[in-house]
Structure 1
Amino acid sequence: MKRIFAYILPLAMTMAACQKQLQTSATTTDGAAPTVIENLQPLRPIDVVELSLPESDKVIVKLMFRNGSMTDPDGKEGLTYATAQTIMASGTQDLTNTQIQEKIYPMAARYGASVDKEVTVFTFAVHKDFLNQFYPILKGLMLTPRFAPEDFSRVKSNQQNYVDQVLRTSSDEEYSKKALEDLLFRGTNYQHTAQGTSAGVQAITLEDVKNQYKNFFTHNNVTIGIAGNYSPEFLSQLKQDMKGLSSVEPNVGRPGQPNKPNGIVVEIISKPNALGSAIFTGAPLSITRSSDNFAALMVANSYLGEHRKSYGQLYEKIRSTRSMNYGDYSYIEWYENGGGNMLPVAGVPRTSNYHALWIRPVQTAEGLKQQYKELGNIKVGHAHFALRLALREVDDMIKNGISKEDFDLTRQFLRSYNKLYIQTPEKQLGFLLDSHYYGRKNYIEEMDALLAKLTVEDVNAAIKKYWTADNLFVTIVTDDSEAQPLADALRNNTPSPMSYSNIVKEGLPQAVKTEDAQIANFKLNVKEVRVVDTKDTFK
């Protein structure tokens, strides 16, 4: 099968330039070995990851704390997020947030925080000419945050609105993705979203935020990342000042492990006026970027369906051939904000992993019946067929692997494409910090070297070892009218013939019709199906 990769390296960042910048030093202070994540050893105070770029006109500082949402106490889910956002939004002991914004506007400086399951990252960016003026603000925010009650109230109100309203209403795709993690990690410290739960956010107080800052944002669990045009003296000062963070030894604990499903477990979220059925699947995956075998799964994943790329098997069969939705993709690690990011972002390293499929919303029975008179008698829309098709593709890859030709093309694509992740100093620094977290020196360089010596046999062996089409979790956000009929069809493994309008059906090749009949009767190993009211999620 010939495959066309329509993704061109931007002129501003040619491959040669990427390679040159990747050769810039990325070192751990005093030459010590990176932390081995499998053992989750505490970091030494204070690790430093450097990316010296003497020709750059900017300085980027990232402070990565090992204290993501998994450190939220029971009953106060969302506390780490509230703490990080309050630090960023509340100013320093010397300056209010408004005064800071007025000072940094002429500098075109910026700062912000991101929180994921295992880490919180603060990012500061400023032109080198303003570094000395900006640094007291950076130092003040991190060492002497203001914690103004009015700023905390604003942060908490926005966070409460997100978990109560935005998450359920703004994007069914993001909703199904977060619901999958809730199901996959249920009962563990990985279950809730970084923003928390409805009851958890309600329970958070300003005193909780201050205590979380003291106990988890300490000099014992921070890694400093710095990139750009900075002096050794500035870095020395930064390291010395960050020792002023709390000296508490944080009790981080171990990341929650994904539940192991016996068969296919489906949770359908019934929602009024949903425009389609948004599907996410997840199967526990025992490796991360820290393993050399990850390179083999990268090829398999890209062949099945790289994020937002139009060449994958899922995209080709579900969207291109059958016009069922806008896209269908595969993931072998968490992909932050897939609805908004075209390329993977740094700052979300995780040691608990899973293989996921994203099937963008497909039509419900009610939607199809309203559009096409000839479909007036259907009971279930396209979700059952789409899920069957996707898992049948995974099953086929497990049993038969991929061809040498497809392997060569996919590997060639990946060796160029991966370098697009690091087109700016800030992105390069982010991936170097993640590399350090995973116990690597430079993930992009190392994966490229592993891809170079990879064989098709390696890839097919990895697929057989790590993937499954029989034991996984599925979440589907769909309309109230579709939820119960879809649940019944899945529970009973009812045949699910594809529902085409007459005009589409007439133009289909016979090969597609033949494959449709096979897909419609492909047996899914469904063991459990539940329907959940949207009002009862993320409580």
Structure 2
Amino acid sequence: MKKIAAYILPLALMAASCAKQPQTSQQSTTDTAETTATATAFDANTAFGPDKVVELRQPESNKVIIKLMFKNGSMVDPKGKEGLTYTTAQMIAESGTKDMPVSEIKDKIFPWAAEYYSNVDKEVTTFTFAVHQDFLSEFYPIVRGLMLNPAFAEEDFKRVKSNQQNFVDQVIRASSDEEYSKKALEDLLFRGTNYQHMVEGNSASVPNITLEDVKSHWQNYFTKNNVMIGIAGNYSPDFLNQLKNDVAQLSAVQPSIPLAGEPNQPNGVQVEIIRKSDALGSAIFTGTPMPVTRSSDDFAALMVANSFLGEHRKSYGKLYDKIRTTRSMNYGDYSYIEWYDRGGNVQLPIPNVPRTSNYFALWIRPVQIAEGLKQQYAELSDINVGHAHFALRLAIREVDNLINKGMTQEEFELTRKFLRSYMKLYIQTTEKQLGFLMDSRFYGREDYIEEMDQLLANLTVEDVNKAVQKYWQTDNMFITIVTDDSEAEPLKEALLNNTPSPMSYSNLVKEGLPQEVLAEDDAIATYKLNVTDVKIVDSKDTFR
């Protein structure tokens, strides 16, 4: 745990610098929904409606940020037309207005350093608009036109849908096996529910989406009754009133929002191996249902345990230390207690992907397959399975150790100190501050970042260890592994039979390792996993 100390000072300094950014008044809100810091159950729908506004006034700022968050997301997609919410959001953002084509809009806003974009997740769709205050009066008519009078042009629809089809057919399978394994895990974990499909849809559903579907979906699911307005920066009361009045002109339909799909309960450790040609390694993602979200005070305790085990893209965690640093098996290994959007591209959590259905997950970045190891090292010519089985055993063993033995007082103090500084980096920009405040309302809170910091300050190591024992387990999990054709069958047999999986080092590496590492390797190699089912799926049959 000494490695964590190296992170605390620089992150604390960065957080302090972040706190010095101009904020001459605290956020206020016209949202009348009651919130408490001890919320454990919540109804996200109460955060949305005609009068739900989240404000972050910054009179000394030179920017204005507007966010419109709609309670819909991919879970409202009609059956057979999965991806429709994504198509609709893309058409609003990428098809201009009835008065101005998107190409002209982009040319016009470029000198203003203005931007706007959409983001669709399982339960919400968020549009973000940002502009320097000097150009707000010129930019706002574009904002208004995009939301109230989108062009929905046929040529733009063809372009948007073509890109969407290409993503679900090709990009997700080819661009990143890591992202592939994460999306495949959600497909498995939520199979049969409205959470199963990717927000972009699937290969069979995207062709079914028509431009008329998009127009109808906009009228029925992007309405004044399921919107939350967010505004930040240097704006006047008159401007806010204008924004509220314009948003009130959205469709008056009261959308029927379904309940979020709940994760399936795994029976033992259930594995799906996705085989593909020419995969360079085995990308692993695990998940098991967890009935805790940011709405619960217990989330703070799990944040500490999660950070200790393996904070996203940080090199001090137990998983990173054992798998990457000590054994040089891959680029990194991390733990998650909620969906981490765009994990392959970002270092810090991004806002506006709140969810009510949650799970605990481990991300084991690609490890080498047997074929690759044999080509590199003659002494490994007899192996049948690469590092995936060993890495999976090691990771699950570390979780079990945390569940059974808990954190020490020293480990707890260091991790909590790091986390309280690190969380301040989530809100370095005005856009992220506003985004996290809006997410807070979704979860029935006032200010998630501030409230979690207070909860962390009052935590004890006993609180953390009790929460881990209450909410985490490894006997029942879903696991997806994207790997090469050559590795799929041998790995399946090894997992089903709990075959010993000694770590495959080159002779040179093995000679330089301490005896305690080799002794730990022996214990890991036979660590029993409760594997009850392993299926092999061809890559071409996923996301159909």
TM-score band w.r.t. shorter chain: over 0.9
In structure 2, relative to structure 1, the CA distance for the partners of 1:189 and 1:5 (3 Å cut) is farther
User: In structure 2, how many angstroms separate the alpha carbons of the residues matched to 1:224 and 1:521?
Assistant: 54
Q: Which runs of 5+ in 1 are unaligned?
A: none
Where do 1:366-515 residues align within 5 Å?
Answer: 366-515=371-520
Where do 1:510-521 residues align within 5 Å?
Answer: 510-521=515-526
User: In structure 2, how many angstroms separate the alpha carbons of the residues matched to 1:292 and 1:367?
Assistant: 46
Match among 112, 117, 125 for residue 120 of structure 1: 125
Q: Which amino acid in structure 2 is aligned with residue 29 of structure 1?
A: T
- Secondary structure of residue in 2 paired with 1:81: helix
> Which position in structure 2 is the counterpart of 1:353?
358
- Secondary structure of residue in 2 paired with 1:355: strand
User: Deviations along 1:345-388, whole A, 9 cap, x unmatched?
Assistant: 00100010001100000000000000000000001000000000
Q: Which amino acid in structure 1 is aligned with residue 398 of structure 2?
A: E
Is the CA contact (8 Å cut-off) linking 2:437 and 2:448 kept in structure 1? yes
> Which position in structure 2 is the counterpart of 1:232?
237
Residues matched between the structures, number: 539
Q: Which amino acid in structure 2 is aligned with residue 4 of structure 1?
A: I
- Secondary structure of residue in 2 paired with 1:105: helix
- Secondary structure of residue in 2 paired with 1:125: strand
User: Deviations along 1:239-278, whole A, 9 cap, x unmatched?
Assistant: 0110110000011110000001011000000000000000
Is the CA contact (8 Å cut-off) linking 2:29 and 2:54 kept in structure 1? yes
User: In structure 2, how many angstroms separate the alpha carbons of the residues matched to 1:326 and 1:470?
Assistant: 26
> Which position in structure 2 is the counterpart of 1:15?
16
1:194 aligns to 2:199 (yes or no)? yes
Is the CA contact (8 Å cut-off) linking 1:82 and 1:209 kept in structure 2? yes
Is the CA contact (8 Å cut-off) linking 2:24 and 2:59 kept in structure 1? no
User: Deviations along 1:395-415, whole A, 9 cap, x unmatched?
Assistant: 111111011000000000000
Q: Which amino acid in structure 2 is aligned with residue 375 of structure 1?
A: L
User: Deviations along 1:408-436, whole A, 9 cap, x unmatched?
Assistant: 00000000000000001011001111111
> Which position in structure 1 is the counterpart of 2:536?
531
> Which position in structure 2 is the counterpart of 1:310?
315
Q: Which amino acid in structure 2 is aligned with residue 326 of structure 1?
A: Y
- Secondary structure of residue in 2 paired with 1:207: helix
Q: Please identify, of 9-18 and 36-45, the stretch whose mean Cα deviation from structure 2 is larger.
A: 9-18
Q: State the 1:13 CA deviation.
A: 5.4
- Secondary structure of residue in 2 paired with 1:106: helix
> Which position in structure 1 is the counterpart of 2:4?
4
Is the CA contact (8 Å cut-off) linking 1:34 and 1:437 kept in structure 2? no
Q: Which amino acid in structure 2 is aligned with residue 2 of structure 1?
A: K
User: In structure 2, how many angstroms separate the alpha carbons of the residues matched to 1:290 and 1:231?
Assistant: 32
> Which position in structure 2 is the counterpart of 1:297?
302
> Which position in structure 1 is the counterpart of 2:255?
250
Q: Which amino acid in structure 2 is aligned with residue 497 of structure 1?
A: P
User: In structure 2, how many angstroms separate the alpha carbons of the residues matched to 1:294 and 1:534?
Assistant: 36
Is the CA contact (8 Å cut-off) linking 2:11 and 2:421 kept in structure 1? no
User: In structure 1, how many angstroms separate the alpha carbons of the residues matched to 2:479 and 2:361?
Assistant: 9
Q: State the 1:81 CA deviation.
A: 0.4
Q: Which amino acid in structure 2 is aligned with residue 494 of structure 1?
A: T
> Which position in structure 2 is the counterpart of 1:39?
43
User: Deviations along 1:464-510, whole A, 9 cap, x unmatched?
Assistant: 00001111100000000000100010011111111110001111111
User: In structure 2, how many angstroms separate the alpha carbons of the residues matched to 1:416 and 1:207?
Assistant: 49
User: In structure 1, how many angstroms separate the alpha carbons of the residues matched to 2:11 and 2:393?
Assistant: 37
User: In structure 2, how many angstroms separate the alpha carbons of the residues matched to 1:5 and 1:213?
Assistant: 50
Q: Which amino acid in structure 2 is aligned with residue 364 of structure 1?
A: I
> Which position in structure 2 is the counterpart of 1:58?
63
Q: State the 1:44 CA deviation.
A: 2.9
Where do 1:44-123 residues align within 5 Å?
Answer: 44-123=49-128
Q: State the 1:16 CA deviation.
A: 6.2
Is the CA contact (8 Å cut-off) linking 1:13 and 1:423 kept in structure 2? no
Is the CA contact (8 Å cut-off) linking 1:90 and 1:148 kept in structure 2? yes
Is the CA contact (8 Å cut-off) linking 2:281 and 2:483 kept in structure 1? yes
Q: Which amino acid in structure 1 is aligned with residue 443 of structure 2?
A: Y
Q: Which runs of 5+ in 2 are unaligned?
A: none
Q: Percent identity?
A: 68
Q: State the 1:60 CA deviation.
A: 0.3
- Secondary structure of residue in 2 paired with 1:396: helix
- Secondary structure of residue in 1 paired with 2:225: coil
- Secondary structure of residue in 1 paired with 2:111: coil
User: In structure 1, how many angstroms separate the alpha carbons of the residues matched to 2:13 and 2:253?
Assistant: 45
Is the CA contact (8 Å cut-off) linking 1:3 and 1:409 kept in structure 2? no
What TM-score does the superposition give when structure 2 sets the normalisation length? 0.97
> Which position in structure 1 is the counterpart of 2:187?
182
User: In structure 1, how many angstroms separate the alpha carbons of the residues matched to 2:420 and 2:44?
Assistant: 30
User: In structure 2, how many angstroms separate the alpha carbons of the residues matched to 1:33 and 1:92?
Assistant: 37
> Which position in structure 2 is the counterpart of 1:163?
168
1:264 aligns to 2:269 (yes or no)? yes
Q: Which amino acid in structure 1 is aligned with residue 86 of structure 2?
A: Y
Is the CA contact (8 Å cut-off) linking 1:25 and 1:50 kept in structure 2? no
Is the CA contact (8 Å cut-off) linking 1:190 and 1:256 kept in structure 2? yes
Match among 206, 210, 214 for residue 205 of structure 1: 210
In structure 2, relative to structure 1, the CA distance for the partners of 1:475 and 1:400 (3 Å cut) is same
In structure 2, relative to structure 1, the CA distance for the partners of 1:398 and 1:127 (3 Å cut) is same
Q: State the 1:12 CA deviation.
A: 9.5
Is the CA contact (8 Å cut-off) linking 1:28 and 1:34 kept in structure 2? no
In structure 2, relative to structure 1, the CA distance for the partners of 1:386 and 1:212 (3 Å cut) is same
> Which position in structure 1 is the counterpart of 2:27?
26
User: In structure 2, how many angstroms separate the alpha carbons of the residues matched to 1:32 and 1:462?
Assistant: 29
In structure 2, relative to structure 1, the CA distance for the partners of 1:343 and 1:96 (3 Å cut) is same
In structure 2, relative to structure 1, the CA distance for the partners of 1:211 and 1:414 (3 Å cut) is same
User: Deviations along 1:110-129, whole A, 9 cap, x unmatched?
Assistant: 10100000000000000000
User: In structure 2, how many angstroms separate the alpha carbons of the residues matched to 1:451 and 1:21?
Assistant: 26
- Secondary structure of residue in 1 paired with 2:204: helix
Q: Which amino acid in structure 2 is aligned with residue 374 of structure 1?
A: E
Q: Which amino acid in structure 1 is aligned with residue 42 of structure 2?
A: E
- Secondary structure of residue in 2 paired with 1:3: helix
Q: Which amino acid in structure 2 is aligned with residue 96 of structure 1?
A: P
Is the CA contact (8 Å cut-off) linking 1:18 and 1:422 kept in structure 2? no
Q: State the 1:98 CA deviation.
A: 1.5
Q: State the 1:134 CA deviation.
A: 0.6
In structure 2, relative to structure 1, the CA distance for the partners of 1:275 and 1:13 (3 Å cut) is same
Q: State the 1:101 CA deviation.
A: 1.5
Q: State the 1:4 CA deviation.
A: 2.9
- Secondary structure of residue in 2 paired with 1:262: coil
